[in-house]
Amino acid sequence: MAVIGIDLGGTKTAGLVLHQGGIAERYRMETDASSQESVMRGLLEVCIRLQESAREKGIGIDALGLGIAGFIDFERGVVTDAPNHPLRDAPVRDILAEESGLPVYVDNDANVAALAEARMGAGRGSRYLVHLTLGTGIGGGIILGGRIYRGALGAAAELGHMVIREDGPPCNCGARGCLEAMASGVAIYRRVEELAAVGHASPLVEEFLADPSAFTAAAVCRHADAGEDLAREILEGAGRHLGTGIASLVNIFNPDAVTLSGGLLGCFHHMEEAMNGSFRETAIAISRRHVRILTGTLGEDGGMLGAALLPSEGIAHV
């Protein structure tokens, strides 16, 4: 079986052909998010390019899977809302099925990343797995009994919006003290911003003040690598909050594995010890002893591979 898997990102649309357990072809292009029509044209172009290049190798495509950031009605293949694209109540599955002639499957990008890690990545062989994507924000996916858990409306696994501190800082979702507001790239940025606002003096703060718009969590990591105590303290704090969040997830789901992916893993060596400490303090012993906390192994391919695995998950449309 040969399946196209496409990861629709805010800046790039990337796809691959999964054939006989390996990647046979790749193609990527910039995402034109100016309108719903432009997004759909980009998805169709990636699909057609991959179909053509696979055909040249004698590979026939059997299905198309898509991973898209946002809320997805999986059974209908409709993107109900997407934060990075002009897709609102968009019947993505039906449109692409008509244009491509393929069975089409559509799901949330973090869901498919979780599926990929459970089937092909760090959590391979895990029937019960929680996946966290650590970047500017925090997303998540849950595998229960070997299948993606989506909830009643396809809105499950918003793990970054689990409240871990009731009086914590405000989150973009409107609540306070969410995991995302405490342990994400945005949370790290805001902590530096707070220190700058009260006049804290350090090389890290000086770099922030020089150009706040260009400053990211990667800069904090760089200062921590150089031995700056303040940068290390900020990352260790984020790590502690991450460990608390993971402990709650482990207490609820009793998974075989928790896998982590995303850009913030570049700072993980400064976060891991603190994360493990708070996790050990707050996770229930029976689940704590069983679970493995692992960094993902699939990198940027995770979303595409997970999308290509969706045909094993259920409903499609031709």
Distance CA 43, CA 47 (A): 6
pLDDT above 70 covers a percentage of the chain that reads 98
Tokens 């609540």 belong to 175
The pLDDT, as a whole number, for residue 212 is 95
Distance CA 132, CA 279 (A): 15
The pLDDT, as a whole number, for residue 274 is 98
SS3 210: helix
**Nearest residue to 136 via CA among 174, 86, 84, 210:** 84
Distance CA 146, CA 312 (A): 10
The pLDDT, as a whole number, for residue 314 is 55
Average pLDDT, the chain: 93
Give 2's contacts (C-beta < 8 A, 6+ positions apart).
17, 18, 19, 20, 24, 54, 59, 60, 61, 62
Q: What is the DSSP letter of 10?
A: S
Distance CA 140, CA 64 (A): 22
The pLDDT, as a whole number, for residue 59 is 95
**Nearest residue to 60 via CA among 96, 107, 15, 24:** 24
Helix (H) / strand (E) element for 52: namely: helix 36-56
Catalogue all structural domains in the chain, each as residue range(s) with its CATH number: 2-115+300-313 (3.30.420.40), 125-295 (3.30.420.40)
Side chain identity at 209, as an amino acid letter? Answer: L
Distance CA 89, CA 147 (A): 25
**Nearest residue to 191 via CA among 260, 239, 244:** 239
The pLDDT, as a whole number, for residue 84 is 74
Distance CA 254, CA 286 (A): 9
Alpha helices (runs of H) in 101-255, residue ranges in sequence order: 109-119, 179-183, 185-197, 203-210, 217-225, 229-253
Q: Report the 10 Å Cβ neighbour count for 99.
A: 15
The low-confidence residues of the chain, meaning pLDDT below 70, are 314-318
Q: Report the 10 Å Cβ neighbour count for 56.
A: 9
The pLDDT, as a whole number, for residue 102 is 94
Q: Report the 10 Å Cβ neighbour count for 170.
A: 12
Distance CA 318, CA 316 (A): 7
